Amino acid sequence: MAHRLLIATGNPGKLREFRELFDAHVDSDWELVAPSEVGLGDFTVVEDGDTYAENAGRKARSYSNACGLPALADDSGLEVDALDGAPGLYSARYAGEAADDAANRAKLLATLADAPDGQRAARFRCVIALAFPYTTNVRLGEGVVEGSIAMDERGELGFGYDPIFALPDGRRMAELGVAEKNAISHRARALANASWALKFMSTTLDRSS
């Protein structure tokens, strides 16, 4: 029996990626729904936690309680060693609250303009949180992919910082096809590490239906 799972994001790129990840990697019959499909298109949660886990958990609980469905939320960021882990939790608004992906990338490239290749190490980190409605328990999964910040943009795929994130083989994340990216990305790894929780939730819903 299929159960509905709310993906707690208004980011269309992230929503698309989660749908692709579930199709490729999750061995269960979840029906993924977007906030706009359950009347939560304008719903927002303040992300002012001190960690990815805190932000993801807050979003998962808030969205789940608002619609009465199990919810999955994530918080992710780009961590640059030369910037002491920045932009980190503020990756989505690195160039300002109203900044888009291009502005964030431009600011990061400008900030690192004088950093040589050997000092541009970085990683994408993602924490996924899963919540049932009207409960306080949150189940987590974390994933990391290592790389570095390139000198310029390349690639037409992906979103966010993908065009300037260079993998160890030199390719940008934005140059990977869907299947390859979804096999190695931080979001894919976080989902894999949360797969036990998805199975638990599905089994719990089967028993209660």
pTM for this predicted structure: 0.90
b/e burial code for range 73-104 (CB count within 10 A of at least 16 → b): bbbbbbbbebbeebbbbebbebbeeeeebeeb
Tens digits of residue pLDDT in 129-163? 999 998 888 999 999 999 999 999 999 988 899 99
Integer-rounded Cα radius of gyration of the chain: 17
| Structural domain boundaries, residue 140 | 3-208
Count of structural domains, the chain? 1
Q: Which of 27, 29, 48, 75 is catalytic?
A: 75
Phi-psi region of 96 (alpha: psi -120 to 50; beta: other; left: phi over 0): left
Peptide bond into 87 cis (omega under 30): yes
Distance CA 142, CA 160 (A): 19
3-state class of 59 per DSSP? Answer: helix
Active site residue 75: yes
H or E stretch including 143? strand 138-149
Tens digits of residue pLDDT in 26-78? 766 789 999 999 999 889 898 888 999 999 999 999 999 999 999 999 999 99
pLDDT of residue 148: 97
Read off the CATH number of the domain in which 163 is found.
Answer: 3.90.950.10
Distance CA 154, CA 123 (A): 17
